Structure 1
């Protein structure tokens, strides 16, 4: 238990800082990710319900036309989210994080409500239009929530706090996977049967809209707008410390220095972050942030989430009920692994190792599944036939290896990792105060762009490529290991105001240790300043060691 609770801190941190308030704010904000996770899980299963296919006469369509319609229903959501994530930069700049969350949650609720008006007579228009609007809402929220959580969190638990966003995603997904199984096994096919899964979307969206009224604004955003009294009140409330505590003074100094540096080098204002894109170091982080979501989607996890019944059918699980049950079990395992990731791995093992260990394990599982489908010829297996030992093993590897978006249990590290949540954590912390909202907008837009590509073309990929789909994703996973090892520094425990320095250090694998040593010396210098302790000789030794 000591190992679980031990944290790597950037400086001595009072126990009061790790209080319930920062967790409560993150949990309420993360109702946004519940809506995203629920959609990614429920939509594929709902489109496969006999009541839905019967109401909209899917039986009269050929395979290609049916796949196209299903892909359009799923993918317009991602298209709306792409534009919503970009527009959130505007609202974040002028309204702040809290009010922006309320606005986008209201847009989502409106879109979700529209979908409930669809039926056979009206056609699919209300579903498609509602999904565009709901997607716009979740796109904006996907930009705001990781940034908001990151700006509230103490450095030592920032991964855990931002990771609550990922936990909300998985909990929403868990409900989404099982809601379809529930209505399919307990209700007769009817209009109401498929309408219930669509209606459940309103629950997390409504809870977020109400909860946003209680949330506190990000103190870093308040400081950037020169609302210092409000910012000081908020940061003291979040940290549960008085204004004169040395931890508060030090944190505010970090924020002020970072803001002053940026105003001096670039300037403040709505358009100034765009001017910062002229700087190579800023361009580089925008590139890294976007590529993280390319590799995330390249793992195949979103294809699996959106079309899980199709995926399990390809392994040999036949029948709507059996496919929905298997996807429900898949959701349970994903959620359990995410909790382990959240409570321990993200702030202890770190971001780099999670990326690399998880990808290697997930790739091995994908190669096995593709090989099994090829050898067993599951496409030509009679409907209702029992799975053989290889099929059961394929499902085990699939569920275990991809349960948290590429998981691995390593004998050396005993690590279970996640490509689902870690890119969101890294993107929320790698930019400075003035480019953070724009950087997160770019990263979130990249996520939704690649989501759109995956959701739009996955049905066609399974029709044309068969088992080759799994080999395709497995190959991309291997390439992402090389990308991570050479280009991604470890960000755990590093204050947000020191990310510029972190990303400037080469080689990247040593960057975290170098910054942590510098921070330790800075903290000693700050705390011993009144005693006149001269640490210049020790600083010179550290610099000499770094140069060597």
Structure 2
């Protein structure tokens, strides 16, 4: 398959795949640049000697510094958790467009607070800024994938939601390299560490501006009884007139589905919550979707993202510049892997196979790194340069990154955005995003202590979790690629095995399309015969 090939659920006019839907998806997913940048820069920023000196951290013991760094990182994660929950009422009452704009605004406020911190203010204002930034990012992590899922044609839905992950990695690359550049080219002092904090304002400001150019989700508008505006926006996004058969079918499907689901859920803010918790099938989907983020964090990704200097020190790398350089290469590999995932893999290979392959390669790599540390004990035998064993451990760390980035990095977000029907999607996406930040908080809060207490056992722990995730994905998670959002519930029909569900549902869709073609062909033939008869008479 070519990199831009598509497998369609039904014949689709080429106009549907136009720049408008790509532009809207890119603006919305730009929220992830804020997330990626923040997750990447903070761990390396607090490792800079200039930051430690500014806030009197150089005389702290290892235990004290671990506690402070864990607080700086994890307060952001805690803010993200609550922000993801607050994203539900924001998405319900304001919609996707204005919710994203509000997220950009709040993010900039939090970033400014961090920028005005200094030795005279202490770390308190940084803590406050980290919480506020987290609130904005949590809400954006809720709203952006929902918006993209709701505006996307099924054949490229995974690709467009995948832009979220690509933007995350772009922000990560900048975040990983910004401190390396500052460390190499800026004189140690207040300005050196401040640069990375100030750069946060760029993605936050761009999201704020870009949100003004978005059109609201047609599905959300229909759910608010604004059908005329919804049809107008759908025409714009699909680049088709109102009477185009494809658009008529899609809009009728949206109206019918939302009307049916509203009858099940009831109107109002609390209807979706009641519907989810009253349905065993929806609770099952909610638990599966949320658990994917537990398994994602079980790969060790947030331990690496936030504490990369600690990770590389455990392998035997010493020196701030060397650690920052190695971390920057890690960010580039993640970006390339995410790009491959976006263009080739997510909509062709699918979700299940990607996750299982990522776990297999990641587990083997982590086991190797843990075994090397257990045998060589690099922390007890520091060297100016790595020996062959140390270089092989670094190589396997990069191999782990190669397996992780096109699999677990973005796929859980795609699945979480696809899993649920429209009438509960804002609430369930809030749960998905909140679960991501909850598990991320646990890892971020306790990673320094884990490395101190467990040593090489940290790598064995994450490797073993990846092995377990293979069986979990195979036996629990159904494939969702190319399944229309309106038919997603069929994947969870009672008695249908998860590893067979996709084949069964796609077979039904193809059969329905074939029957419709036959019916349309018969109608056209009868009409032609009638017209020929009239002409003959």
1:403 is displaced (CA, Å) by 4.1
Q: Report if the CA contact (8 A) 1:370-1:468 is conserved.
A: yes
Q: Report if the CA contact (8 A) 2:317-2:386 is conserved.
A: yes
Distance between the aligned counterparts of 1:401 and 1:298, measured in 2? Answer: 13
Q: Report if the CA contact (8 A) 1:426-1:491 is conserved.
A: yes
Distance between the aligned counterparts of 2:4 and 2:29, measured in 1? Answer: 23
Distance between the aligned counterparts of 1:178 and 1:130, measured in 2? Answer: 22
1:527 is displaced (CA, Å) by 4.5
1:253 is displaced (CA, Å) by 2.3
Q: Deviations over 1:288-307 (max 9, x none)?
A: 11100000001101110011
1:521 is displaced (CA, Å) by 2.6
Q: Report if the CA contact (8 A) 1:268-1:434 is conserved.
A: no
Q: Deviations over 1:216-264 (max 9, x none)?
A: 1011001111111111111111111111111111211221221122122
Of 495, 519, 525, 2:509 maps to 519
CA 1:402–1:530 in structure 2 vs 1: closer, same or farther (change >3 Å)? closer
Distance between the aligned counterparts of 2:252 and 2:511, measured in 1? Answer: 16
Distance between the aligned counterparts of 2:417 and 2:520, measured in 1? Answer: 35
Structure-1 residue corresponding to 2:129: 130
Structure-1 residue corresponding to 2:160: 161
Distance between the aligned counterparts of 1:487 and 1:433, measured in 2? Answer: 23
After superposition, residues 348-497 of structure 1 pair within 5 angstroms as 348-382=348-382, 384-403=383-402, 406=404, 417-497=406-486
1:532 is displaced (CA, Å) by 5.0
Structure-1 residue corresponding to 2:144: 145
Structure-1 residue corresponding to 2:535: none
Distance between the aligned counterparts of 1:527 and 1:202, measured in 2? Answer: 53
Q: Report if the CA contact (8 A) 1:333-1:400 is conserved.
A: no
1:379 is displaced (CA, Å) by 1.0
Structure-2 residue corresponding to 1:287: 287
When structure 1 is superposed on structure 2, of 134-143 and 498-507 the one drifting more is 498-507
Q: Deviations over 1:456-481 (max 9, x none)?
A: 00000011111100000001111111
Q: Report if the CA contact (8 A) 2:4-2:343 is conserved.
A: no
Name the SS for the 2:122 alignment partner: coil
Distance between the aligned counterparts of 2:58 and 2:77, measured in 1? Answer: 26
Structure-2 residue corresponding to 1:507: 497
Q: Report if the CA contact (8 A) 2:265-2:423 is conserved.
A: no
Q: Deviations over 1:426-478 (max 9, x none)?
A: 00010000111111000100000011101000000011111100000001111
After superposition, residues 171-210 of structure 1 pair within 5 angstroms as 171-210=170-209
Runs of 4+ residues deviating >3 angstroms: 524-533
Q: How many residues align?
A: 522
Structure-2 residue corresponding to 1:87: 86
Q: Which runs of no fewer than 5 residues in structure 2 stay unpaired?
A: 524-537
* Superposition TM-score, scaled by structure 2 size: 0.95
RMSD value over aligned CA atoms? 1.4
